[in-house]
Structure formats: structure tokens, C-alpha cells
Amino acid sequence: MAEAQAASAPPVPDLEQAFEVFNELSERLTVAYGQLESRVATLSEQLADSRRDRQHERAQKEHLADQLGVLLEALPAAVVLVDMRDRVDRFNPAAEQLFPSLAWGRRWTEVKSEVVAAEPGPGDWQLRDGRRVSVSQRPLNDRGQILVVVDMTEQRRLQERAERQDRLSAMGEMAAQLAHQIRTPLSTSVLYAGQLAKGSLNGIQRQQFSEKLLDSLRHTETLVREMLAFSRGGNFTATPMLLDDALHTALAALQPRLRQLRAGVHLRLDGAECRQIVGNVDALAGAFSNLIDNALNHGGEGVTITISARCDGDDALLLSIEDDGPGIDAAVLPRIFDPFFTTRERGTGLGLAVVQAVVLEHGGALRARRADSGGARFDILLPTLAARELAHSTARKFL
């Protein structure tokens, strides 16, 4: 029986090997557990750091939201947030003052229709109570839009008052200048009339004083006529017309002076399709007469005047009046269109101002410069008949 028990017991080397394997696995498990504990500790620390960062970030966002909320409440401009469904999502007290029916969840289009009477221009609203506001709209990606509305009523009132004061100041200055311009020929006329009233004058003296009196009165009449033309500006009826008609009218009226000064006139009229414009023949003829007369006054005897016309792009006509006279002094060039500015002793200083007023009222632009020949050159840009509605943009492009 003892032999049987000895046969069933495992050999000693096998037990020792088993214990070695067990010990090795235990050591591995111990190391792995230690690594796992270290990893868990690291992850816990990282998680805690992440939690603290999120809490700090949330606190910062809440602080920023509070600041933005305070700023929104304090803004003098009305701010309205509208979601993608056209529902009012948020607004500030200034918005409530401008839009009394404003409420969370209401359709913005309904609120707007109750308050806004008209929209004279983009971003310009007129409210039913008479106030004018400026509106700026910005999209909020897929969250709707934000509207900033500023009450411009007081600012517009102050601006209109300033403009009215400027107009009154300009009228006063113009009246003073006109009185100054009229005083000299009027005083001269009174002097000559007083001489004529004397009975001691002979026939020749009476004729001389009469001619001088008439000359002074004509100068006064010219000054008043040009002043009226300048003040009226574009007070005329515009109809479809051919530019050639105004040019020929101006040249026909100036034929006596042209012959007297033996002046030469060269016409170079190209672009027949562009010479069809919308305007007033008499007003343009008067403006062209002033420019040609200006060339005669400064160019003197034998001056050559070149009048050319051509298309400028598809929507404008460029008319140039050029002479070979002494030209325009660079020092006075910026002022030649100012009312009452003149370099001639008996000039009224209104001729070129009238030209500019007429051209602007025709939707065009006027520019003066020194010609390549050394003389004076005036360029007039006018919108064609086909592009009359683009007159203002044409003038901006030219300038």
C-alpha cells in the first residue's frame, strides 16, 4: 500500500516547476496591477485637470455672457436677434422703445410692419411716428440674423439745420458779392446820367456820355442775367435732342464776334449715335456760348477754337472745346468755376459757374485743364439718350 501511495504522488521536480511558474505569474500580475494603478492615477489626474479646465472655461463664458448681456442692455442702439423661423429670439430695452410690440417668439415681419411706414433706401427706415432709423443686418450662420437699429432722427435734424445754415450763408455771401459787382457799373451809370442831366453839354459830349451810360447799363444787365441763369441752375424742361442743335445755336449767336476777331472754328463731331441726348437746347446752347466766348475773351484776335465730340464708352458723350490761346494758369484752375471769380477787369465771374450748373443738371460732369497746344480745354461728359438713367454714375466715373 505504501508503494501505491508513492506511485500516486507527483515528482518533486514537477512541483518545484509549478511553484516557479506560479511565482512568475504572481510577479507579472503584481507589476501589471502596479502599472494599472499608476495609469488609473494618471487618468484620474488628467480627468480632474480637464474638469477644472471645463469649469474655468464655463466660468469665463458665463462671465463673457454676463458682460455681453450688460453691454446689450446698455447699448443706445436697438438690437434684435431673429431666428431661422423669423421669430424674435432676444432684444434689448432700446429695441423695446423703438418697437413697442416687440415680444419673444413673435414674428419679426409682423413687428416690423406695425412700426415701419416706409423704406426710402437700403438700411433707411421711416417709422410711423415720424422717426428715421438706420438699420444694419448681419446673418448668424444657421442661427438666424441680428439687426442693429440706430435712431437717426436727431442727427438728421441737426444735419438739415446745418445744411440750411450753409444755404443761407451761401445766399448771403452771393448777395454781398452781387451787390459788390453791381455797385461799380451802377455808380458809373449814375455818374454818366448826372453828366447828361447838365444842360451845358454839346452834342458830341452828350453822345459820348450816352454811349458810356449804355455800356455800363449793359454790363449791369449782363451781370444780372448771368446771376439769374446761375441761380436757376437746371430750371428747364429736358427732352430728347441732338447735341448738334445746341452747338449750331451757340455758334450762330456768336458769329458777329467770331468775324470781328477773325477767329477760326473747327468742328469734329464723331459718334453720331452718342450725340442723341436728353436735355434743353437753349440751356446747353447758352453753356456752349459761354465756353466759346471765354475762348474769344482770352484767346483774342485770330484764336482758333476746336470743338470735338465722340463716344466715351457705351453710355456717354464727350464734348471738348479747346483753344490755342494762353491757357489757364495752374494757380487759378481750382477756382475757375467759383461764382464771381474772374481774372478779367470787366468779367462777371459767372459764365463758367453757369456752365457747370447747366452741365450738372444734365446729369453730366465738367472738367477744365490745359490743352496739349498750351491753350484752355473744357471737357463735358453727358449721358446719352439710351443711358439717361445712368447719368449720376457716369458723372462719378468721369470725376
User: What distances in angstroms separate CA 285 from CA 252, 304, 327, 345, one per listed residue?
Assistant: 10, 19, 23, 25
Both 291 and 362 in one domain: the answer is: yes
Both 57 and 8 in one domain: the answer is: yes
99-130 pLDDT per residue, tens:
998 899 999 999 999 989 888 878 888 898 88
Query: Of 101, 130, 151, at which residue does a domain stop?
Result: 151
Number of domains in the chain: 4
Task: At 139, list the grid cell.
Answer: 446673418
Query: What is the predicted pLDDT for the residue at 394?
Result: 40
| Interatomic CA distance for residues 82 and 105, integer angstroms | 9
Rounded to the nearest 10 degrees, what angle do helices 281-299 and 243-253 cross at? 50
Query: What is the predicted pLDDT for the residue at 180?
Result: 61
| Interatomic CA distance for residues 350 and 229, integer angstroms | 9
φ and ψ at 237, to 5 degrees?
Answer: -95, 125
| Interatomic CA distance for residues 375 and 369, integer angstroms | 9
Residue-number span of the structural domain to which 336 is assigned: 235-398
163-195 pLDDT per residue, tens:
778 766 766 766 766 676 677 677 777 887 887
Query: What is the predicted pLDDT for the residue at 221?
Result: 75
Query: What is the predicted pLDDT for the residue at 308?
Result: 93
232-258 pLDDT per residue, tens:
555 567 788 999 999 998 898 888 889
Q: What angle do CA 377, 270, 237 make, to 5 degrees?
A: 75
Both 250 and 391 in one domain: the answer is: yes
260-315 pLDDT per residue, tens:
999 999 999 988 888 889 888 888 888 898 899 889 988 889 999 999 999 988 78
User: Could you give the percent of the chain with pLDDT greater than 90?
Assistant: 17
Both 199 and 218 in one domain: the answer is: yes
Query: What's the whole-number mean pLDDT along residues 127-144?
Result: 87
What is the DSSP code (8-state) at residue 384? B
Query: What's the whole-number mean pLDDT along residues 139-159?
Result: 87
Query: Of 98, 133, 151, at which residue does a domain stop?
Result: 151
Both 392 and 245 in one domain: the answer is: yes
Both 372 and 295 in one domain: the answer is: yes
Tell whether the model's pLDDT for residue 33 goes beyond 60.
yes
Query: Of 41, 57, 72, at which residue does a domain stop?
Result: 72
CATH number at 85 reads 3.30.450.20
Contact 294, 357 (CB under 8 A): no
CATH number at 223 reads 1.10.287.130
Both 7 and 132 in one domain: the answer is: no
Both 20 and 65 in one domain: the answer is: yes
Tell whether the model's pLDDT for residue 4 goes beyond 60.
no
| Interatomic CA distance for residues 274 and 385, integer angstroms | 8
Both 239 and 361 in one domain: the answer is: yes
Both 273 and 385 in one domain: the answer is: yes
Q: What share of the chain is helix, strand, coil (3-state, %, to 5)?
A: 55, 20, 25
**pTM of structure:** 0.48
